[in-house]
Structure 1
Amino acid sequence: MKEINRPVTDLNTFVRLCERLNGEKYLAVDTEFTRTRTYLPKLELIQIASAKLVFCVDVPCISDWSSLREVVNSSGTAVVLHSADQDLEALAQFDLLPLRILDSQIAAQLCGAQKLSYKNIVEEYLGIELAKDQTRSNWSKRPLSTEQIQYALDDVRYILPLFQVLHDQLQQMDRLSWLYEESARLLEQSDHGLTADNAWKSFSGGATLNFHDQQLAKQLLIWREKRAKLINRPRQWIMSDHQIADLVRNKPQSVQVTAHILGKKRHRIPNWVSSVHAMLSVETPNTHYPIWISWKSLNSDQKRQINELLVQINLFATEMELPASLLCTRQEAVEAVCGEFSARMFSGWRWEIVGSMIESWLEANDFKRVNLPKPLAPEFPK
């Protein structure tokens, strides 16, 4: 394998290297980025490896990405990444989302691996010990050190050999189609991205709020996501989760009190405080349907049903040497008992593997596999 041990900074060289990638069945890709002061990851380095070539590209130096875009959008090429979520988010900013991806971390999960970091899996399957001393390195500083460049190249050079081992093992286990399905789902999620309308789902404090306050919190989270993306600053800089919970619980009566809860930050402007305050005074519909569900809010029958479902899932997972969370997460079990059934659980290979068991469980507990209607969200000021 030919290695170019200095970052590519010249456009003509970059184009020639991309031409050498045409026709490859598999390409390995990794990225290095910074994200301490921005909403979006700031892509600094792209590492690429084929069966014959490994190199990295200094992103700020390249003005035209069309040659690489053509390669990753080829129907005959699958791009292999490890733990692809954030890499895909970074690549999407340059319109470099591949047409087809395969995730070696997902492949390792499906093979039954317990430790899923790149370092651990490379050591387990290839017997190679990688240094990870540059993990928290400053990738925006130039020039990059020799250690940084070597670390970056190591992060991509072993992906294809690793993937080949995992691919062969999955083929023997008759699970290769599972990898294709999971990777396609991951790519689809990345293509749609984390939008303002779905970012609220990861709010950690929602389950502690009453139903009315949950409605308010959801709208504040949507508003925060839009503002963070607009000015490209971390969402917690706009308004922290703790501040959102405080606001919806206390519902300050004046803009001044709202401003006091939000605190003084250089990126916040007065009309934002007014917008937040206005949202807190909008009436929400009466509802007994929670947006976030906590374990404490469940009754004893629901807790029993969840535990029964999880026991069955764990038995299946143990028998198949898979992580139980890969079949059904605890949160998915909670939502199922409360009438919300994850599309992930009821489609594809999961349904083929554990579908009959889940179907029997639903029937025994008098559930129907449909989504319950949710109340319409109230209108809030823009």
Structure 2
Amino acid sequence: MYISTEAELKELVARASGEAAVALDTEFVWERTFYPNLGLVQLAVGRDCFLIDPLAVKDLSALGDLIANPDVTKILHDACQDLTILKQATGASPVNVFDTRLGYGFCSPTSILSLAALLEQTIGVSLPKTETRANWLQRPLSQKMLEYANDDVKYLTEVMKLIIRRAKSQKTDSWLLEEMKYYDNPALYEEVEPEEYFRRIKGVNLIKGQKLAVLQELACWREKKARAMNRPRSHIVHNNVLVDLTYKCPRQRNDLKNVNRLSPNAVKRYGSELLQCIEKGLNRPEAEIPAPELRPPRKPAKDLIMRLIAEKAEKLNIDPVLIGSSREVNLQLVTKSPDSRFFKGWRKEFMQDIFNQDNIGDLLGLSN
């Protein structure tokens, strides 16, 4: 059923609010903009699938009420991006989420599966891939697009139940349900602070001191500019250009021509602002210069810990990636942070016997 009015949406949400669980998905276009353009929201309630048209329904706050309803489980596949888009569209922070991709990792050796692959492996359903690059902002949507959109939610409730049954059979269901609380954190759906974006730029670990302040100023400026103009970051100034600007620190407009990949058009439009950022960074007081990015050297103990995690995960038939990444283990060996997720909840339970081997607990900082 196609939902194109606020009244229809409110009626649908009233029905969905009486269910224990509903399935959600989104279709969007994200090509030449900073923010994705939401084209469709799919909602499965019981055996029925509904397609909500956000181009026709301008006020999606009723959908936000459902997303924020703690009594209704929202089932999604690879949930984070969809939930972030829905938070932007509705203003509501999601709670009570079940991610079928993440959940599958608690009853199989991998949690890195597309929805199509997951459906084939769990319930033997093959999805057509004909509409993966469709323009979801066009109207009317074709019949094939409508069918494709329905398929993305119609099987999710069945898959969730199957995953929970399998996890219960191997006694990992409590870990699975605990991990789903991850999606209840409102901070997960917030934009990174512009002042912190510089830490996501490749090569930041090689930059220190005053030049790190320069990179921070440049990245912060670009982040604010991209958001205000709703254009991709690379359409303003590419990451590589920011890094080259940081190393060369041009002080005059004419010097900008020596910066790799900085186009004449970008110099014309943004040259003065770029020079101002560089000047601000170079003149920042030493006490206000950001701490350099910590990129720890490879620790020999890391390989041992990763092997022990993989071996135990294989015995339990869960995805070792869920416990922690190689970089996360390596970083913990250096920082020994008492707030590490290795020391909390189900991960601590998983790691307990590993902590007791070869002083690994001490190496990771468990005794701190």
TM-score above 0.5, yes or no:
yes
Give CA deviations for 1:38-83 in whole Å, capped at 9, x if unaligned: 2222111000001132111111110222332333332311111110
Q: Are the equivalent residues in 2 in contact too, given 1:79–1:102 (CA < 8 A)?
A: yes
Contact 1:258 1:273 in 2 (8 A): no
Aligned counterparts of 1:185 and 1:238: Cα–Cα separation in 2: 33
Note the residue ranges of structure 2 that are not aligned, 5 or more in a row. none
1:303 maps to 2:305: no
Q: Does 1:156 align with 2:153?
A: yes
1:176 maps to 173
Q: Mean Cα displacement is larger for which, 28-37 or 13-22?
A: 13-22
CA distance in structure 2 between the aligned counterparts of 1:202 and 1:190, rounded to whole angstroms = 16
1:74 alignment counterpart: 69
CA deviation after TM superposition for structure 1 residue 307, in Å = 2.1
Matched, 1:273 2:283: no
Aligned match of 1:117 in 96, 114, 124?
114
State yes or no: 1:323 paired with 2:324. Answer: no
Q: Deviations 1:190-235 (Å, cap 9, x if unpaired)? A: 3444333554443232234456644543443344323322332212
Q: Identify, as 1 or 2, the structure richer in helix.
A: 2
Partner residue in 1 for 2:18 = 23
* Residues 59-208 of structure 1 aligned to structure 2 (within 5 Å): 59-93=54-88, 94-114=90-110, 116-188=113-185, 189-208=187-206
CA deviations 1:220-265 (Å, max 9, x no partner) are 3344323322332212222222112212222223244347634324
User: In structure 1, the residue corresponding to 2:51 is in which secondary structure?
Assistant: strand
What's the secondary structure of 1:75's corresponding residue? coil
Would the alpha carbon gap of residues 336 and 366 (structure 1) be closer, same or farther in structure 2, given more than 3 Å must change? closer
Q: Secondary structure at the match of 1:44?
A: strand
Tell me how far apart the structure 1 counterparts of residues 57 and 326 of structure 2 sit (CA, whole Å).
44
Matches within 5 A, 1:353-364: 353-358=350-355, 361-362=359-360
Question: 2:25 aligns to what SS in structure 1?
Answer: strand
Q: Distance in 2 between matches of 1:137 and 1:16?
A: 29
Cα separation, 2, equivalents of 1:9 and 1:316: 50
Give the structure-2-normalised TM-score: 0.86
Secondary structure of 1:182's counterpart equals helix
Return the offset for 1:324. Answer: 2.4
Unaligned runs of 5+ in 1: 371-382
The percent identity for this pair of structures is 24
2: CA distance, partners of 1:265 / 1:141: 32
Q: How many residues align?
A: 359
Q: Which residue of the other structure, out of 233, 238, 241, is the alignment partner of 2:239?
A: 241
